[in-house]
Chain A
């Protein structure tokens, strides 16, 4: 199975800060990568698909980039409602796997 290494596992930032999360695949997955947001006690929500495409209705402060094995997820200006855990997910094949998650908190 393809392993997804996500970092950091947690971070604390101030409102308005730029936040960056990385996800590294154990092998080339082209752009077959999604990013999800999960707020406490809630189901995950799709934010970014195909590595860099913003899901309809998602604020433009969220973005994604990368291809191959290295991917980046960015919140350009952190807002209080962005407090959540973020997960990457690869779909290069049907052995779908997720990163370990990054918990984002407000400093």
Chain B
């Protein structure tokens, strides 16, 4: 069974840092592009970052320069390093698998981990 399990969320002060993890199982992790998508409470979905199978990375302007996505294929793990956090970054963060290499369709999602940025 394909499974994604996020961890690492919590309460952090504005300007602080947090590292999220996503443990993948049930598929050949190294063969899939992976993404992070977030959702503020009661709000819609926002794409946060992507990493290809070759380690190429992509970000929207809202997080570029503050967030870093990475992967460790030997550990079937995806990461999101978040620095200079702001109140607007408060959200549930989901890791999501792209349907195939080069695909931008999310066919599997984790259950999410909550990040709260507040003093």
Contact = CB atoms under 8 A, between A and B. Distances in A.
Interface residues of B, number: 18
B110 to A, nearest CB: 6
B47 A87 contact: no
Range of interface residues on A (Cβ < 8 Å): 20 to 34
Interface in B28-75: 37, 44-47, 50, 58, 60
Contacts of A36: 45, 106
A32 B94 CA distance: 22
Ranked nearest first, the 9 interchain pairs of A and B with the lowest CB-CB distance are: A91-B104, A43-B109, A96-B47, A98-B45, A49-B105, A94-B58, A101-B44, A100-B44, A46-B107
Interface in B83-106: 94, 99, 104-106
Contacts of A95: 47, 60
* Interface secondary structure of A, over-half rule: loop
Nearest to A46: B107
Nearest to A45: B109
A100 B45 CA distance: 8
* Interface secondary structure of B, over-half rule: strand
Nearest to A90: B104
Interface of A: 1, 32, 34, 36, 42-46, 49-50, 55, 87, 89, 91, 94-101
Contact of A43 (B58, B105, B112): B112
Given A36-B45, A44-B94, 7 more contacts: A36-B106, A42-B111, A43-B109, A43-B112, A44-B45, A94-B104, A100-B44
11 contacts: A42-B111, A43-B110, A44-B45, A46-B105, A50-B105, A55-B107, A95-B47, A96-B47, A96-B50, A96-B60, A97-B47
